[in-house]
Amino acid sequence: MDELQQQLRATFLEEAVDTLETLEHAFLAWENDRTNTQLIDQIFRSAHNLKGSSKAVGLAEIGAFTHDLESLMLKIKNQEIPVSQQVFDLLLRCNDELRRMVLGQRGGDAVATDPELAERLKAAINGQLANPSSVAEVGFEIFTDPAPPVEPEQAAVASMLHPPVDQPLPPPAANLAKAQVEAAAAKKAVSSVVDDSIRVSLGRVDSLVTMIGELVILQTVLSQQRHQIESPLLQKTVVQLAKITKEIQDNSMSLRMMPLRQTFQKMQRIVRDTAKSLGKEIELELNGEDTELDKTVVDLLGDPLVHLIRNASDHGIETPGERAAAGKSAKGRIRLSAGHEGGKIMLEISDDGKGLNAQVLRQKAVEKGLIRTDQSLTQEECQNLIFIAGFSTKASASDISGRGVGMDVVKTNVETVLKGEIQMVTELGKGTTFRIYLPLTLAIIDGLVVRSGSERYVIPLTQVHESIRARREDVHNVVGLGAILSLRGEHIPMHSLATQLGQRGLKNQPPDETAMIIRDKGQPFAITVDEIVSRQQVVIKRLGSEVRQSRGVTGGAVLGDGTAALILDLKELVKKDKRSRGAA
Amino acid sequence: MNERTHQGLALVKGAASSHHSRYLRFRLAEEDFAIPLLSIREVVAMPETTRVPHTPAHFLGIMNLRGQIISIFDLRAKLGFKSERSSETAVVICDFEPLRFGVVVDSVEAVMTLDDADIAPRPDVDTRVNAEYIQGVARRDQRLVLVLDLPKALSLEDLIAMKKLAAAS
């Protein structure tokens, strides 16, 4: 295959993922609005495009399969085949199958069509809809198909883990956890396609942002030297240049932002499949899909969201019978909404299901040996037990959720990977609400620039609880313990940044020391620096592998004057020191 | 970028016929050294560097190269010479996938073309010093040019392994 053809094929595969997403969305919309002929036309067009272009790039198998799918659609369109639940199931499965083949090709493997599905599709075209579409079967379909992927990569992982499509067993927890880890590690995903947008690789955007960052630094230098320029015109130009540079920078930062729409829409499918397999009726209401987040955050958000949505469908919403008995409408409702709140993004997942029963949770935790029988816990503490590793309330792990890897993984993901926070509010009989607070971007942080000796370092502002001037009489050197700082009646250990960083011959010890207090779970501590230089937003830069592994160093940043600085994690840094002291 | 690709192509073509490649020759403590031109991204003047805690002395620190953060190594210090700076001192930014780093050299001399046949194997001197980082020796105008394997010379693999170990413990 020559280079041009390879290029064409790569482009096709990129676009096919989007097309299939559009198709799936159209199928789901059509299922809810069966009289909408516009949707049928749209589906028809998409399928036709897919068929044409797949054949053009020499992917005959995808072409043939799409051809059959198109034939089926044609018969439906001409009302030769009545629209039924089975038809939708089949169409969606075909869509999944196509996605599996496309992703396989993208990964460089030719993936053969599942013969059984192809057979069913052919039979359907001839008007014979296979009918073993029992609830049980649909139940495992959800897992054997790479159907509800958050990201194509995850789907790829899932299909790798379960090569034959009809292997009748849900994946064991270990596999799932692995899939999650791998999916989280995978960064790439397909960017959204809106009518008036173009596709640009993330690498290009990043290099543009980097260069603009440099531009801003040069501009700052120019502005500072402005008074040396004699010509008033030049002076004025420099001022104007500064304004425009600032605007360019703001704009460039927004390039990485993308709406949550696609991620949200994927949840529709998950709710549909989950509800079907459990015999429940659930409606998913979406709000704020246009809320924009950094692309990296959006990509990483998929997994936790899928988990929460599945949990809500499985554990939250009751069966129609139970709901009727509780005087609720038969159809359960899950609301997924996003919006801005105080410089952060808040995501809310709420259901009107049965809520969490604190007593039941407590009981389970005791049975599993997670807490002692006599341990006293508040209602809230009981409810938060679901975030503990190894906790699962269902007696037998169901297919949908309850593998015991759920909520704690979600919590860790949100907190460590996404640098966010998760909260839960639940009311027995009324429902449960999860709130996730996320930073707008992972690429920029608010930092304190501090000086130690001649070097400057960046400390993420979130780490620092307060900064104080430690008076000499408040600092006590205790033999064997080191320096202890008395702060409003509290005694906390005090470290020096210079010592922690191994800056030899340096001690931050002016008469009164500038100390930052860190209180983030665990023991609080103080760390002294020579000076807090400024507070500023910095763009986090990747470091080379020869530096990246250093403990206590989380990244690099370029300061206002163009010098490179390290971003420190004080907790890690101090922890390291404790260990080495313990070893010595 | 284009230029580099171009050089790369020229090199590949050249290699197919007569096995010669281009090298950057630089000076370090009165000696001539050479590294393959293909691995070099650019040469910059000695920048301001920021030290990284708990790193060996020859690791000068990190620098800002147009928004990218790059580690800088002092080749003099690593090879056991005394650190010295002059107006000629330069930093050669190298690309050894996946590593990208800069090395400080005394002065950049010229680009030279060497035939594979021109490069003699490293003389097998009985020495306690591990000379593995010398790929070969070439003769040029009565002077010896040592062809360096930079990642080896800087023990980069060791450094990374060391960091990993430290992070794992």
Nearest to B163 among A455, A501, A549 (CB): A549
Residue A479 identity: V
Q: Do A544 and B69 touch (CB under 8 A)?
A: yes
Nearest to B54 among A502, A543, A544 (CB): A502
Q: Which two tokens stand for residue B101?
A: 């780093």
Task: Please report which residue ranges of A57-151 form alpha helices under DSSP H.
Answer: 60-77, 85-106, 115-125, 135-144
* β A431-439/A344-351 pair status: antiparallel
Q: What is the pLDDT of residue A347?
A: 93
Residue A526: φ, ψ to 5°: -115, 150
Domain ranges, ordered by start, for chain A: 3-133, 203-255, 258-439, 444-583
CATH number listed for the domain at residues B2-168: 2.40.50.180
Over the range A20-49, which residues count as b (16 or more CB within 10 Å of their CB) and which as e?
bbbbbbbbbbbbeeeeeeebbebbbebbeb
Q: What is the pLDDT along chain A (584 residues), one digit of tens a residue?
A: 567 777 778 778 878 888 888 888 888 888 888 878 788 888 877 887 788 788 777 788 888 888 888 888 888 878 888 888 888 888 888 888 888 888 888 877 777 788 888 888 888 888 776 554 443 343 333 333 444 444 444 444 444 444 444 444 444 454 545 544 444 444 333 334 445 677 788 888 888 888 887 788 788 778 878 888 889 899 899 989 988 988 888 788 788 888 888 888 888 888 888 888 888 889 999 999 888 888 888 888 888 888 889 888 888 888 888 898 888 888 899 999 999 887 788 999 999 988 888 888 888 888 877 778 777 777 777 877 888 766 755 444 444 444 445 677 788 888 877 878 888 888 888 899 999 988 777 777 788 999 888 889 999 888 888 888 888 778 888 777 778 888 888 888 888 888 888 776 555 555 567 888 888 666 888 998 888 888 887 878 878 777 776 778 888 888 877 788 999 988 888 875 554 444 33
Top mean-pLDDT range of A51-60, B19-28, B123-132: B19-28
Residues 6+ apart with CB under 8 A from A167: A144
Q: Do A546 and B163 touch (CB under 8 A)?
A: yes
Q: Do B50 and A455 touch (CB under 8 A)?
A: yes
Q: Output the CA–CA distances (angstroms, integers) from residue A79 to A44, A74, A83, B70, in the order listed.
A: 14, 8, 8, 65
Contacts with A545 from chain B: Cβ below 8 Å: 98-99, 160, 163
Q: Output the CA–CA distances (angstroms, integers) from residue B97 to A206, A531, B133, in the order listed.
A: 19, 39, 18
Assess contact for A308 and A434: CB atoms under 8 A: yes
At residue A453, the 3 state secondary structure works out as: coil
Give the C-alpha separation, A213 to A218, whole Å.
9
Among A205, A545, A576, the residue to mutate for chain B (most B Cβ within 10 A)? A545
Q: What is the pLDDT of residue A126?
A: 81
Contacts with B68 from chain A: Cβ below 8 Å: 210, 541
Which of A551, A567, A554, A547 has the alpha carbon at shortest distance from B156? Answer: A547
Q: Do B167 and A210 touch (CB under 8 A)?
A: no
Contacts with B53 from chain A: Cβ below 8 Å: 500-503, 550, 552-553, 566
Nearest to B50 among A544, A551, A563 (CB): A563
For the segment B49-107, what is each residue's pLDDT rounded down to a tens digit? Answer: 888 888 888 888 899 887 788 999 998 888 888 878 888 889 999 988 778 889 999 99
Domain ranges, ordered by start, for chain B: 2-168
Closest Cα in chain B, distance from residue A405 (Å): 24
CATH number listed for the domain at residues A3-133: 1.20.120.160
Assess contact for A399 and A277: CB atoms under 8 A: yes
Report the percentage of chain B scoring pLDDT > 70. Answer: 78
Among B68, B159, B165, the residue to mutate for chain A (most A Cβ within 10 A)? B68
Q: Do B71 and A547 touch (CB under 8 A)?
A: yes
Q: Which residues are A444's β-sheet partners?
A: A539
ipTM of the complex: 0.70
Q: Do B55 and A550 touch (CB under 8 A)?
A: yes
Q: What is the pLDDT of residue A148?
A: 42
Residues 6+ apart with CB under 8 A from A25: A265, A268
Among B44, B62, B101, the residue to mutate for chain A (most A Cβ within 10 A)? B62
Q: Do B54 and A579 touch (CB under 8 A)?
A: no
Give the C-alpha separation, B86 to B106, whole Å.
7
* Burial class (CB within 10 angstroms; exposed 0-12, middle 13-18, buried 19+) of A582: exposed
* Closest residue in A to B64 (Cα–Cα): A564
* Closest residue in A to B164 (Cα–Cα): A549
The per-residue pLDDT of chain B, averaged, comes to: 79
Give the C-alpha separation, B97 to B63, whole Å.
19
Contacts for A130-139 with beta carbons within 8 Å, 24 or more apart?
Answer: A130/A86, A131/A86, A133/A85, A133/A86, A133/A89, A135/A276, A135/A277, A135/A279, A138/A89, A138/A273, A138/A276, A138/A277, A139/A277, A139/A278, A139/A399
Q: Do B51 and A213 touch (CB under 8 A)?
A: no
Assess contact for A469 and A514: CB atoms under 8 A: yes
Assess contact for A138 and A89: CB atoms under 8 A: yes
* Closest residue in B to A579 (Cα–Cα): B169
Give the C-alpha separation, A68 to A115, whole Å.
13
Under an 8 Å CB criterion, which residues of B touch A? 48-55, 59, 61-64, 66-71, 98-101, 156, 159-160, 163-164, 166-167, 169
Q: Which two tokens stand for residue A105?
A: 């090709």
At residue A521, the 3 state secondary structure works out as: coil
CATH number listed for the domain at residues A258-439: 3.30.565.10
Architecture of domain A444-583: Beta Barrel (2.40)
Half-sphere exposure of B47 (CA within 13 A, CB side): 26
Contacts with B54 from chain A: Cβ below 8 Å: 501-502, 550
Assess contact for A497 and A508: CB atoms under 8 A: yes
Q: Do A544 and B100 touch (CB under 8 A)?
A: yes
Q: What is the pLDDT of residue A257?
A: 83
At residue A243, the 3 state secondary structure works out as: helix
Closest Cα in chain B, distance from residue A494 (Å): 19
At residue A353, the 3 state secondary structure works out as: coil
| CA A223 to chain centroid | 40
- What's the pLDDT band for B126 if we cut at 50, 70, 90? low
Give the C-alpha separation, A119 to B77, whole Å.
71
Query: Which DSSP state fits A558?
Result: E
Nearest to B50 among A214, A565, A579 (CB): A565
Q: Do B156 and A502 touch (CB under 8 A)?
A: no
Q: Do B163 and A548 touch (CB under 8 A)?
A: yes
Contacts with B70 from chain A: Cβ below 8 Å: 544
Among A216, A503, A527, A546, the residue to mutate for chain B (most B Cβ within 10 A)? A546
